[in-house]
Chain A
Amino acid sequence: DARVTQTPRHKVTEMGQEVTMRCQPILGHNTVFWYRQTMMQGLELLAYFRNRAPLDDSGMPKDRFSAEMPDATLATLKIQPSEPRDSAVYFCASGLGGDYSYEQYFGPGTRLTVT
């Protein structure tokens, strides 16, 4: 049963610290998405990749957030320095792209709390 995995599942950190979240997309999927979910804003697209190339990161605060795909099996989302307003659940999703782009498979999320 292929699944998107995310680590860590929970992270509590102090303001100013660096946070790195990791995602392993489903093997063979060529698109990867990072979303942030909060009560106030709902589900927001932060960035997405196709074939490891960043296609759109317009939803991401550029000064503190960065997203990369070092290889096809790993996507990372980094926040440096973290702030309390970054507290949210961060989801990674992967898909086949192209004609199957609507099939996005979500990971369980990383719940981030910045104090």
Chain B
Amino acid sequence: AQSVTQLGSHVSVSEGALVLLRCNYSSSVPPYLFWYVQYPNQGLQLLLKYTSAATLVKGINGFEAEFKKSETSFHLTKPSAHMSDAAEYFCAVSSNRDDKIIFGKGTRLHILP
């Protein structure tokens, strides 16, 4: 069985500060890992994905995430937060055995002026 745990349902950072959103996964097989973003009143959009290539993955809008097998983590970071980053972020896990993606509960990111 696969699952993801996102630490913190709400995270607030000041504009220009580092963004760090935490995600830990559980998987009995080598995982595929993703971060999706949801802006208000919209569907989810893929930010970045890890599929067993480079452990440091770069995505859109300046975000990146690092796969750490020893820590079973896939934390999302951005060096400098922008007001437009305010959204809900979902960590997700999948395997190559079926098409399903298991989503975490989400972390709402607030950007303080």
Contacts and interface: CB of A to CB of B under 8 A. Distances in A.
Interface in B77-107: 90, 94, 96, 98-101, 103-106
Contacts of B45: 106
A61 interface: no
Contacts of A95: 99
Interface of A is mostly: strand
Interface of B is mostly: loop
Give chain B's interface residue range (CB within 8 Å of chain A): 20 to 34
Contacts of A4: 43
A102 B42 contact: no
B43 A48 contact: no
Contacts of B44: 43, 91, 93, 104, 106
A108 B42 contact: yes
B100 A102 contact: no
Contacts of A102: 32, 34, 49, 51, 94, 101
Interface of B: 32, 34, 41-46, 49, 51, 90, 94, 96, 98-101, 103-106
Interface of A: 4, 31, 33, 42-43, 45, 48, 50, 55-56, 91, 93, 95, 97-99, 101-109
